[in-house]
Structure 1
């Protein structure tokens, strides 16, 4: 399996300013003739989001191809229901445009970013608020302004500490039957983002703790993150993505029928 080269870092943008990642990520840049054909052939996906993304023009949007059908799987059920969506990380504004087209004109869409330059996108495809994703008071104020939230997409700094801080503040505020998605988690293996393959700070180590919490009925340890696992119905892991679905949890029961 091809691995990222460990060579000089490259600069990336984000909600916490300049950060670095191995240049080896560029090895995975698509250079074929058709984004649409590549996604369709590899992932057997031809939903509306594929057309929206592949035909997008205007403000820049950058997505890994395997993310597109995953987005549709979890965000698609909210279409036509005027959902409330928060995206952490505005960048060049193109992602907000994608969600507006996909979720529809009645969706309430907010984006947050620490970069003051992102104010230019406020009011175009959604509302933009400037602040840090690790600031609980700021995050709560945005959710209050939104009137609640159904979908949260963390495409922010991709730093381990920021990811955890946002999750611990926002997941309790997520509406019942809501979805919390964290992407670009390849950074969990990069020390420059606070991760590392065997590092305790690796977000996937944190997720393992949530899995244990979800199964607290069956072991003697107390829940470490009851504010999350206490209402987390499921955790889904994909390449560089973790999805948490929220709903009321009940003690498990079983029965016998005949």
Structure 2
């Protein structure tokens, strides 16, 4: 049973889509409208088991309000930022009749991703560069839904906006995610920074009310600062299509409509009794400008937009801080130079003393070297003399060896002759006959 009071806590916009005051209203409205679309986007996310996709939890209600009307259509979706490719798969499931789902990423690794769905394509390139859109246009040149989930850097978001909004169909929606990064200095943001992505979208909301302030020939328009700051072209003809700028936590949603559909229209009245202010009846069917009698002076914009003034002031402050820092730095450098000179002088004196000590050592070493060289020369002379003596001794030895060899050879010859004569004597008859006499003589000699 749906609580009617809770169900009435949302209001319906001009396009029939509800504007929610809280998450409960979204859930109740989804229950009431369950037959009008195929299923809540969050359910597709929860059921997803393919490539990884990550989103902040509060995004789903905001996405559901603007995407549900496209679910049964042959939509064309462009998402800047692919990463692992999971969100492309979810869009393909959530929009079963989608004609094209294109992901754009600067990382070449995303080009290697493969998808089961034939309607998913990936284009590699910088979303702020025209060349990238030439490749995108070759696949599809207009889109019903465009999501910027890229680098989240303020400059990249703002630089890509003219390219994507130009390709957004009338009746389409542009969604920029993760805008909390617009408060981070590292991402080109800051709460009071005039050139952040949030500052850009805040200014973009002025174009929802374009008819109430614009007049031809205005030089300083709300977007002129951003055009000059980032080198963009944001013609009034493009921005006149801004129908709605919706903001939720970290998300900005911009809806595009034909300029004629973005007008306030005439003032309408119903009823006949105007007892308090009867003059109001004169305003039937008048325009806003006619109603309050706007003059040209009322529409005159200041010479500089608040963003330009803030930016110039910011840089003036930075310049003043820089000058102050520069003076302090110069003083610090002077002190460092004085200290450095003192250190240099001390080092130079120590170096000179070291040089003097080294000179004494070198002189002593030179003297020692001369002594060593003299000793070496004497040693060379001794060596040469010894070598001569050794050579002479070697010669004498060789000669002596030759003489000794000859003597040995002569003695050997004498020995052989003597041995032969002895053997002849011993073999003779007289030697054998006289053997007993020799023994007797030996005996007598020993007995004496």
Normalised by the length of structure 2, the TM-score is 0.46
The yes-or-no answer on 1:229 pairing with 2:239 is yes
* Structure 1 segment 15-30 matched on structure 2, within 5 A: none
- Asked if 1 retains the 8 angstrom alpha-carbon contact of 2:154 and 2:189, the reply is yes
- Asked if 1 retains the 8 angstrom alpha-carbon contact of 2:72 and 2:97, the reply is no
Report deviation, 1:138: 1.2
Match of 1:238 in 2: 248
Report deviation, 1:153: 0.5
- Asked if 1 retains the 8 angstrom alpha-carbon contact of 2:210 and 2:240, the reply is no
- Secondary structure of 1:235's counterpart equals strand
Structure 2: distance between partners of 1:206 and 1:57: 37
Report deviation, 1:42: 10
- Asked if 2 retains the 8 angstrom alpha-carbon contact of 1:122 and 1:128, the reply is no
Report deviation, 1:123: 4.5
- Asked if 1 retains the 8 angstrom alpha-carbon contact of 2:76 and 2:98, the reply is no
Larger Rg: 2
The yes-or-no answer on 1:186 pairing with 2:180 is yes
Report deviation, 1:109: 0.3
- Asked if 2 retains the 8 angstrom alpha-carbon contact of 1:235 and 1:242, the reply is yes
Segments of 5+ residues of structure 2 without an aligned counterpart are 1-22, 32-38, 224-233, 271-448
* Structure 1 segment 1-258 matched on structure 2, within 5 A: 44=27, 47-125=39-117, 126-219=120-213, 222=218, 223=221, 224=223, 225=234, 226-250=236-260, 251-258=263-270
Q: Larger deviation: 64-73 or 155-164?
A: 64-73
- Secondary structure of 2:165's counterpart equals helix
Report deviation, 1:80: 1.5
**What RMSD in Å do the two structures reach over aligned CA positions?**
2.3
Q: Larger deviation: 126-135 or 201-210?
A: 201-210
- Asked if 2 retains the 8 angstrom alpha-carbon contact of 1:172 and 1:227, the reply is no
- Asked if 2 retains the 8 angstrom alpha-carbon contact of 1:159 and 1:194, the reply is yes
Report deviation, 1:228: 4.1
Structure 2: distance between partners of 1:247 and 1:42: 26
- Asked if 2 retains the 8 angstrom alpha-carbon contact of 1:143 and 1:173, the reply is no
Report deviation, 1:235: 0.6
CA distance 1:80–1:173, change in 2 (3 Å) = same
**How many pairs align?**
219
- Asked if 1 retains the 8 angstrom alpha-carbon contact of 2:75 and 2:97, the reply is no
- Asked if 2 retains the 8 angstrom alpha-carbon contact of 1:140 and 1:170, the reply is no
1:85-143 C-alpha deviation (Å, 9 max, x unpaired) = 00100001111111011011543100010111111225444100100111123124303
Q: Larger deviation: 87-96 or 116-125?
A: 116-125
Report deviation, 1:150: 1.0
Normalised by the length of structure 1, the TM-score is 0.77
Structure 1: distance between partners of 2:239 and 2:254: 9
Report deviation, 1:68: 1.3
Structure 2: distance between partners of 1:133 and 1:160: 13
Structure 1: distance between partners of 2:237 and 2:133: 16
Structure 1: distance between partners of 2:65 and 2:42: 12
Structure 2: distance between partners of 1:76 and 1:107: 16
CA distance 1:87–1:227, change in 2 (3 Å) = farther
RCO higher in structure (CA 8 A, sep ≥6) = 1
CA distance 1:227–1:117, change in 2 (3 Å) = farther
1:27-85 C-alpha deviation (Å, 9 max, x unpaired) = xxxxxxxxxxxxx8896368432221112112111111111122111111111111000
Larger helix fraction of residues: 2
Structure 1: distance between partners of 2:114 and 2:102: 9
Structure 2: distance between partners of 1:63 and 1:42: 21
